Each structure stands twice: as C-alpha cells, then as structure tokens.
C-alpha cells in the first residue's frame, strides 16, 4: 500500500518553556520512516494519552500514514478522500457564479501556481508549461473545462490521477510547500507582494471550503506562522504629473492618427475628473451634463457661459476581463462601481477645462448607436490596446528621456492619481474628495498621503513658532 510504513519510532515527551522557565506546552515527538512529526498539548496528561495511543498502535503492528504521521486507522471515516485536482475544480465551480470575471481569473492563477506542489511525480508527467496552460485556461474555468482540446484534456486526465489527496495537507511541511510554491514565480523567486497576498488569501479561502465539505478537520494554512510581506499602499509621488505635463501629454495624444482626437477626451476625463479607466470607457452620453453654448446678443456668436462647470453622474464600470471569463463572452464585464452597491451612482464635477474638451468631442464625434461617449474608430467598445499604445507613444513624445525613465504617468491610472492629488492640494476637504473619487476617507488619506504637498513647510513653521513662545 502506498504512503504507509511500519517503521515507527516514538520519543519522550518534550516540555516547552518560555523565557521565564515556565512550562507552556508538552510536545509529543515521533518518526515514521525517516520523517519527524510533532504535536503539542497544553496539559501533560493529554500528551501522555496521545503518546500512549501511538505506542499501542506501533506495538500492535498498525501501519502509519506517511501523509499524516498517525496510524492509518485514525483517519476519520466521515471525511471523504479527494484529490487536490478534484477539490480545486470543485472550489472553482462553487465560486464561479458569485465572482466577477477578473476574480475568476485571480482564482485560476492562484490555484495554477499552487498545484505543482500537489503533483505526484510519475510516468508520463507533462511539461510544466503544458500543465500550467491546461490548468489556467481549461481546468480552472467552469465554462471552458468541458471544451478543452485533446492535448489539454490529456494533461488534465493525467493530473486527475496524479495529484495528492487533500489529506496530505495534514503535514505542516506540505502546507508550507504549497504556500511557498503558490507565492513564487516560475524562477523560484518570491512573487510581487500583491500576488503573494492575493494567492495566499485565495488558498486560505479554498481550504476553508474544504473544512466546510468535511474533507479537512481544520484549515492548515491558518495554523502556520507566516510573515506577511510589507505593502506600500501610498501612491508614488514620482508617478503624478503636474498640469503642464498633463497638457503636453494630452496634446501629444491628440496629434496621433487615426484615433488621437477621440482619445484626448478619454484621457482628459481621467485627469480632470479622476475616473478609473474602466469607468471612463463605459460612459454614455447621458452620463455627461455640460452647459450649452450661449449666444452673445451683441455679436450673435455662440460663446461659452461664464459658469462652464459640468457634472458626470454614472453608476457602472466595465473592467476588461477577456471573453473566456465573462458570462456572456464579452471582452468587458459590466459591474457596479467599486466599493458601491448595485445601482449606486457617483457624481463628479466637470471643471471648465474638461467641459470644453467634452463639448468639442461631442460636436465632432457624437455617440455611437449604443450611446457610448468613447468608442473605437470602427465603432463598438474602445479597444484597450488602442488607448494603451496611444498613451505609451504620447509619453515618448511629450516627456524628456529622463522623465520617461521615471514612473511618471507610466500607467493610464496615474492620471486619476494626479487628479485626486490636485483636489487635495487645492484644499478641497477630504470627505468631499473621497466622495468624488469613490473612496472612504481613511483609504483616501492613506493612499495619497505622500502626494499632499506643502504640509512639511507648514509643520516646520508651527514648530518654530511654538519654540519661540517657550
């Protein structure tokens, strides 16, 4: 029988003490084959009872599991055995309907990264690249799994027969390996902090589900001592453009052919109104309210009104996800606004500079049959590849080589950061800025703390005045 042994050694109970010499726990130590095991108890009587049970099982010739370290007869009969691959697919299917398209991808990425730690080496093992491709694209996609092509299906059949049972995670070292593999890159180095935290959270949620299904008695990840990596939540001040740089970038976008003129307003709405890209790309004309031109009674000319402020009111966003992950096969998934309930709208002021840009945009391009404010040259959704390429080209043209080498406006999202920073530095109260930006106040101040300028000088002046008084 695989994964069992009769080669067992059981050692004396070890007392664990703290720095003051006080006994804190009693540890039972034993070994199966050449693998050490340990289990701690708060009371000596509990440790004695457990050790005696191990000794009895070893003396009567019971086989011990190499996966749990305990006698095979101790495995709970009410806990069904399930392979890692079968469980991971079950977890994906459970989460599918209630998850956004992008979170579905996050789950697939995390489980794909973790699975190599649960593979049993055997004959016919596919190449690692083929395993990852089959898992990410087919196995961990509820909509796609049954339509995998034969080469991918063959990989998945091999995995179904060659992944460890979930009970293997009773061994703490197996749990550590699972977590280490899931939070590492292909070259073995630790992944980016955001990936580490996301994958660890998803794995922990998955094993919570295993407990719910009574496949595991407890979540082994929660029992690990794990050092959380440091995270930097603040916006990098070096990425925030000033107004002159923003104008130069918008001019460079406008000069690009054939889509530059229509893209200028798209980028401007993020810089002047702080929208996220997935919010801007989904705007309809009815979301925009700008004052009409007025006729000068003396000249008869149409002129901008004295108060040329407008307003944007919207309640949906459309993040890019990919056809394989959305329910309707669309490239984008229409969702409620981030951190807001379904149907809850957000209003943002439209300053005169943006009003003029939007007015010119509507006059030249209007909307498409679906009412989109921004759309492709040939109609339909504005392709992400189009505006990303335009932005990269604009940076090269509008910024100096030294600025291009910096994080300055490297991501389109940095235009939103520049807008929110402008509002805060203009003295707009944080609660108002948070409402416009779609943040809570505490998150807003934490993220943009380094982008509020002038506070150092004010603080120094106040300290100097206080010292003079004393």
469 exposed, middle or buried (CB, 10 Å; 0-12, 13-18, 19+)?
exposed
pLDDT digit string (tens) for 265-284? 999 999 999 999 999 999 99
Pull the structure tokens for residue 131: 């395993």
Q: How many whole angstroms separate alpha carbon 266 and alpha carbon 392? A: 15
Averaged pLDDT of the chain:
89
Of 167-176, 313-322, 398-407, the poorest mean pLDDT is in 167-176
For residues 447 and 236, give the distance between their C-alpha atoms in angstroms, rounded to a whole number: 9
Helices (H), 213-335: 243-254, 260-273, 277-280
Helices (H) and strands (E) in the chain, counts: 17, 13
Confidence of residue 1 (pLDDT cuts 50, 70, 90): very low
For position 334, what pLDDT does the model report? 94
Which of 52, 56, 24 lies closest to 40 in space, CA to CA? 24
Which has the minimum average pLDDT: 15-29, 71-85, 102-116, 289-303? 71-85
pLDDT digits (tens, 9 = 90+) for 226-241: 887 776 667 888 899 9
Residue 318 has pLDDT above 90, yes or no: yes
- Residue of higher predicted confidence among 44 and 252: 252
State the DSSP string of 178-236.
HHHHHTB-TTSSBPPHHHHHHHHHHHHHHHHHHHHTTSSSS-TTTTS--PPPP---SPP
- The H or E element spanning position 460 is helix 455-469
Residue given tokens 């709405």 in the structure block: 269
What confidence score (pLDDT) does residue 201 get?
96
Cα 235 from Cα 450, distance rounded (Å) = 7
pLDDT at 209: 95
Under the banding of pLDDT at 50, 70 and 90, the label for residue 17 is: confident
**Residue 223 or 308, more confident:** 308
């Amino acid at each position: 029988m695989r994964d069992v042994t009769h080669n067992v050694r059981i050692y004396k109970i070890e007392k664990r003490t703290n720095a003051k010499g006080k006994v804190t726990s009693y540890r039972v130590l034993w070994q199966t084959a050449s693998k050490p095991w340990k289990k701690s108890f708060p009371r000596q009587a509990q440790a004695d009872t457990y050790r005696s049970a191990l000794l009895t099982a070893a003396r009567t010739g019971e086989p011990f599991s190499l996966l749990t370290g305990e006698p095979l007869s101790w495995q709970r009969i009410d806990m069904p055995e399930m392979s890692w691959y079968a469980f991971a697919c079950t977890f994906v299917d459970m989460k599918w309907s209630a998850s956004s398209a992008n979170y579905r991808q996050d789950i697939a990425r995390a489980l794909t990264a973790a699975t190599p730690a649960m593979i049993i080496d055997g004959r016919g093992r596919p190449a690692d690249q083929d395993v990852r491709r089959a898992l990410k694209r087919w196995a961990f996609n509820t909509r796609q799994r049954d339509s995998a092509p034969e080469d991918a299906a063959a990989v998945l059949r091999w995995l179904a027969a060659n992944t460890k049972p979930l009970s293997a995670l009773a061994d703490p070292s197996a749990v550590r390996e699972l977590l280490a593999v899931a939070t590492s890159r292909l070259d073995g180095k630790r992944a980016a902090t955001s990936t580490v935290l996301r994958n660890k959270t998803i794995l922990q949620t998955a094993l919570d589900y295993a407990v719910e299904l009574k496949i595991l008695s407890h979540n082994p990840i929660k029992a690990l001592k794990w050092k959380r990596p440091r995270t930097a939540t603040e916006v990098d001040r070096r990425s925030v453009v000033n107004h002159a740089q923003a104008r130069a970038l918008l001019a460079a976008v406008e000069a690009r052919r054939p889509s530059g003129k229509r893209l200028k307003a798209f980028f401007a709405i993020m810089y002047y109104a702080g929208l996220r890209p997935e919010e801007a790309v989904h705007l309809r004309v009815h979301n925009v309210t700008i004052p009409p031109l007025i006729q000068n009674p003396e000249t008869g000319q149409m002129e901008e009104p004295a108060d040329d402020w407008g307003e944007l009111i919207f309640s949906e966003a459309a993040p890019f996800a990919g056809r394989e992950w959305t329910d309707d096969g669309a490239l984008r998934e229409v969702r409620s606004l981030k951190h807001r309930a379904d149907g809850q709208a957000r209003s943002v002021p439209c300053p005169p500079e943006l009003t003029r840009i939007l007015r010119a945009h509507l006059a030249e391009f209007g909307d498409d049959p679906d009412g989109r404010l921004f759309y492709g040259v040939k109609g339909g959704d504005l392709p992400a590849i189009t505006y990303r390429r335009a932005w990269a080209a604009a940076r090269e043209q509008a910024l100096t080589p030294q600025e291009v080498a910096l994080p300055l406006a490297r991501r389109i999202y940095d235009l939103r950061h520049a807008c929110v920073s402008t509002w805060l530095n203009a003295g707009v109260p944080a609660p108002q800025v948070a409402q416009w930006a779609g943040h809570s106040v505490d998150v807003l101040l934490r993220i943009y703390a380094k982008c509020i300028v002038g506070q150092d000088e004010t603080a120094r002046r106040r300290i100097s005045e206080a010292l003079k008084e004393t």
